[in-house]
Chains A and B, each alone.
Chain A
Amino acid sequence: MFGGVTTVVTGVDVAKRWGSTQALNGASFSVGEGVTGLLGANGAGKTTLLGLILGLHRPDVGTLDVLGHDPWLAGSQVRAKLGYAPEHDALPPDVAAHDVVRHLAELHGLPRREATSRASDALWEVGLGEERFRPVGTMSTGQRQRVKLAQAIVHDPELVLLDEPTDGLDPTQREAMLGLIHHVGADLGMHVVLSSHLLEEVERVSNAVVILEAGRVVAGGGMAELSKADPELVVDLDRDDSDQDPASRLAATLAELGAAATASSPTRVVAVLEGPGIYDVVRDALADGGYSVRRLQRRTASLEEIYLASSGRGAAL
């Protein structure tokens, strides 16, 4: 189980080496329902992990379970239930979008008549209904990414693997694609693994995340669960001529009262929320000290902070 819901993919100590490159190095993780972000820098092992989930490679070490099967041993059975959109621009340019999508539907076992009907439905769903008979090569990058999404969902898979689906898109197109991915995961009843090196887009649409760093899983779990780890209370104060550094004074007071708090600036105090009593402690300290309070807010960690903390990185991806 994964945060109280069904587990779709489970990996235990998965390792995979390509020549001298250790692509995955003992990765253990779970992917649950909804949209799960697979986050990591380029070369972190994301695409290799997708290949293992698809049963295209055999792990050197470790076990992998996808929808109740070992993908290496039951590859065809597993892949019939998966949809996959690759990172690169792989679609044949001289073939109509509808033909490409229908062809993929047939490959996944749908009879020809059903595949034809589903191809139209899928292309309408991704916003290409009117454009579906245009050759893929005449479409914009954003439209081609939508065709890739359509071919991945046309056979109504249980799990959709999307490898960098916003690659090459401008901000407007990216926004629309993220909306579609959220729609697929939330409304169409498919589970989605969104592989990306962009923190912001994973944070936008995912309800869980697996963070890869040099082939290892450095953090994973539901977004709500991860962001709840060590939540903080941020207190912004006003300063005046008589008190230029109210934050240091408040932090010292809170420390005397047994609360873990630091002054991050002359006007900001960040206190670690260690139980419900901390609110009373902070309130009393503020009242007793006569502080002028500008803002008091409970803050949860962003995905970027989680990533930086777990990977030990000092810079963004």
Chain B
Amino acid sequence: MSLRASDVVAGDGNARIFEGGYRPYRGIRLGVGHSVWALARHTIERIMGLKRPARYKVLPFLAVLIAYLPAIAFIGIVALAPPGGGRRILDFVPGPGRYYGFITAAIILFATLAAPEALCPDKRSRFLGVYLASPLNRTTYLLAKAIAVGTVLLLVTLGPPLLLLIGLALQNHGPNGFSDFMGTLGQILVAGVSLSLMFGAISLAVPSLTDRRALASAGSLLLILGSGAITGTVTFGLKGPRNVLALALNRLPFELALRIFTLPGLPTGPEREFGAHSPPLSTAVVVGASVAVTAVAAAVTWWRVVGLEVTR
């Protein structure tokens, strides 16, 4: 039925205005947990460049792609290897425990990009003051940021070995039997979360010291790679204590992952220095150092965020 102007003007007096402009909000209000999740989700979107121009998406998506490429390649190799004749090729395909050795650079790169994006812009633009004027306080703010960074890091620490496990299992090249499969799955989950926690804590510590993203990324990279160079020099060059190697932040998280998969550690130095069968660091040292490094990095970040001045 069409509506004519005369119908509107000469109404019977029953017309009602439904749009009353701005209205008071009478709906439910969720608690601080909702605020934490809202900030974490927003930060994840920011880190991944979602809802932002395309140039912000390039680096994070590239890092994620690099982390998944070897897994895709290995699954492809297993699929294409000739039956019975491809044993040597199949031996080359690592299990999920050894997979991290192929994506070390991608994980470190992603961690050093993600954490500065999570913390620095809020401080630089002073939007932190707006966040702290919400139901969040400094601790819950930091919790949301840590959840966000940890979650996006899972994309590269948990996703690729999981994909590899599933891909190999579907082609009968994975663990033998259901219990082995579930055991490996559990190891992947624990290792992925541990790597995410460690790299999350380490990579958040440096951005907490500065409000410049580029400086924070470079600083994090320098800390992670530099610690490896310094500890290597102390242990091998200066023949210092072997346990100092546990402070090599570019290797420690991956050493921990290997122990979770009950694999021996990576060779810890040149064979001529320590011998071909020099024992790796003990698991207790690796676990202790991992906990200590994560705790110290988290404490530094918390101390810095709690001490930030807003609305002075």
Contact = CB atoms under 8 A, between A and B. Distances in A.
Q: Do A and B come from one complex?
A: yes
Interface of A: 18, 23, 47-48, 50-51, 54, 56-57, 75-77, 79-80, 82, 84, 86, 88-92, 94-96, 99, 103-104, 106-112, 114, 118, 121-122, 124-125, 151, 155-156, 161, 163, 188-189
A112 B121 CA distance: 23
A114 B34 CA distance: 13
5 contacts: A51-B310, A76-B135, A110-B27, A111-B34, A151-B130
Given A91-B127, A104-B134, A109-B135, A125 B21 contact: yes
A91 B130 CA distance: 9
A47 B25 CA distance: 28
B53 interface: yes
Chain B interface residue number, banded:
35 or more
A47 B136 contact: no
Nearest to B311: A51
Interface of B: 21-25, 27-32, 34-35, 38-39, 42, 51-53, 56, 121, 125-127, 129-137, 310-312
B24 A156 contact: yes
A107 B38 contact: yes
Given A51-B311, A106-B34, A109-B31, A94 B52 contact: yes
A114 to B, nearest CB: 5
Query: B22, B27, B29 — which one has the most chain A CB atoms within 10 A of its CB?
Result: B22
A121 B30 CA distance: 20
Contacts of B126: 86, 88, 90
Contacts of A80: 29, 134-135
Contacts of A94: 52-53, 56
B184 to A, nearest CB: 37
Contact of A107 (B53, B56, B131, B312): B131
B17 to A, nearest CB: 16
Contacts of A161: 133
B137 to A, nearest CB: 6
Contacts of A23: 312
A54 B132 contact: yes
Nearest to B136: A107
A31 B262 CA distance: 65
Nearest to A126: B22
A99 B132 CA distance: 18
B264 to A, nearest CB: 47
Contact of A104 (B130, B137, B310): B130
A18 B311 contact: no
Given A92-B121, A111-B27, A121-B22, 6 more contacts: A54-B132, A54-B311, A80-B29, A84-B130, A92-B127, A107-B39
Contacts of B134: 79-80, 104, 107-108
Contacts of A48: 311-312
B239 to A, nearest CB: 48
A76 B137 contact: yes
Nearest to B31: A109
Nearest to B41: A106
A258 B74 CA distance: 106
B130 A90 contact: yes
A242 B137 CA distance: 76
A91 B125 contact: yes
A18 B133 contact: no
A18 B135 CA distance: 24
A106 B311 contact: no
